[in-house]
Structure 1
Amino acid sequence: MTTSPPADAHLREELTSRESLAKGNFLEVRRDTVKLPDGHSATREYVVHPGAVVVIPLLDDGRVVLERQFRYPVGQVMIEFPAGKLDAGEDPLVCGQRELLEETGYRAREWARAGAMHLAVGYSTEIIHIYFARGLSLGERQLDHGEFLDVFTATPDELLGWCRDGSVTDAKTLACALWLQNTGSGAWALDWQGDSARG
């Protein structure tokens, strides 16, 4: 029995060789040689990333929990939702629960997976899983050694205003603001689960 090729076959590139250019503690830079759809060859240089999770923490009064953190590559303090990279083999929900507690001190009673985003498809494999958290209770933060950040709260309207005026330029936070806006209006639904639910 034969099957028809996928509709995107005329766009796909085929790996012919791979070279590792650099490998750090959690990132690797690769240069692949690929065969293009027209038969020609090209190189693709990209960063291999383990993936990450971002959390949109909702307080009972409607505000959201945000962070301010200095990001060395861009040389500035950024406004962001809590987030962190996945450990090897880690469930994204477990990562989100861990990062929320470590960075903000909050635990959540309920979680909802919103979706995922590819952050920089031209040069990175990074995927970020998006979770909402509600029913928050505040405890002690457990920051990693060498981690410095401020935790604060804002209304969704304040956050959207900062997205509009350029105060927020972090891509994951901009994408989460879209989710927040659409779930808040009822346009997009979430499937809430207890805190022991998995992804």
Structure 2
Amino acid sequence: MKKFEEKTIETKPVYDGKVISLRVDTVKLPDGNTSKRELIKHPGAVAIIPITKEGKIIFVEQYRKALEKSIVEIPAGKLELGEAPEVTAVRELEEETGYTAKQLNKLGSFYTSPGFADELLHLYEAVELELLTETVAGDDDEFVELMELTLEEAEALVKEERIHDAKTMYALLYLRLKHASN
């Protein structure tokens, strides 16, 4: 048995949607008691830190209905069924920014909300960007505006809470640490 493992006794599907599914599991706890767990299943996602030749970072500003406001984020998107994360990264970069990258470096991955969701987000750095000659169609229901910012300008947006999501703040921390070690 794994340390602190919870054994599933029963699983009840609640919702199966386009992006997520929700289920409620009844689990047996390590001490023998039972509890309920509301769990979101997610196919995984990628996020990309696009860096221009001038050293600026390309961000997208978009409205997030769950927050009822627009926020500034690094480009990101959901993995399609059977799609490798690096393929998703290139697709999302092209759809959301109109750029492609000669070089894509995987920086790692992390769980976004492990208390209730299994979403694993893969983070990439995209360098040697090239503007596409033809626009790549993105999602019909996604409206974004591009912003090119220096690291310092982006950090100021964190203080203003215009950048207010974990993946983007994680990316900025990565860049700040990278600059500090150079």
* TM class, shorter-length: over 0.9
User: Number of paired residues?
Assistant: 180
Task: Output one character per residue of 1:88-139: Cα deviation in whole Å (capped at 9) or x when no partner.
Answer: 1110000000000011100101011001121111111111100000000112
Question: 1:176 deviation in Å?
Answer: 1.0
Q: 1:33 — aligned with what? A: 26
Structure 1: distance between partners of 2:83 and 2:52: 26
Judging changes above 3 Å, is the alpha-carbon distance between structure 1 residues 146 and 165 closer, same or farther for their aligned structure 2 residues? closer
Q: Give the CA deviation at 1:164.
A: 3.0
**AA paired with 2:43?**
P
- Off by >4 Å, runs of 4+ in structure 1: none
User: What is the rounded CA distance, in whole Å, between the counterparts of 2:123 and 2:8 in structure 1?
Assistant: 30
TM-score computed with the length of structure 1 as normaliser: 0.86
Whole-Å separation in 2 of the counterparts to 1:26 and 1:148: 18
Q: How far 1:17 sits from its partner (Å)?
A: 1.4
Q: CA deviation at 1:185?
A: 2.4
- Could you tell me which of 9, 12, 24 is aligned with 2:5? 12
Determine if the alignment matches structure 1 residue 47 to structure 2 residue 40.
yes
1:125 aligns to what SS in structure 2?
Answer: coil
In structure 2, what residue type is equivalent to 1:11?
Answer: F
Q: CA deviation at 1:142?
A: 2.5
Counterpart contact for 1:104–1:141, Cα < 8 Å: no
Matched, 1:169 2:164: yes
Q: Which residue of 2 aligns with 1:121?
A: 114
Q: Which residue of 1 aligns with 2:177?
A: 182
1:86 alignment counterpart: 79
**1:141 deviation in Å?**
4.5
2:101 corresponds to 1:108: yes
Partners of 1:165 and 1:150 in 2: how far apart? Answer: 18
Instruction: Calculate the TM-score normalised by the size of structure 2.
Output: 0.93
Could you say which residue in structure 2 is the equivalent of 1:134?
Answer: 127
The equivalent residue for 2:142 is 147
The AA in structure 2 aligned to 1:171 is A
Instruction: Provide the aligned C-alpha RMSD in A.
Output: 1.4
Identity of aligned residues (%): 34
* Runs of at least 5 residues in structure 2 that lack an aligned partner in the other structure: none
Query: Matches of 1:54 and 1:132 in 2, distance apart?
Result: 9
Q: Which structure 1 segments of 5+ residues have no match?
A: 188-199
Q: Secondary structure at the match of 1:136?
A: strand
Give per-residue Cα distances to partners, 1:28-79, cap 9 Å, x unaligned.
Answer: 1010111111111111001111110000001111100000000111111010
The letter of the residue matching 1:96 is A
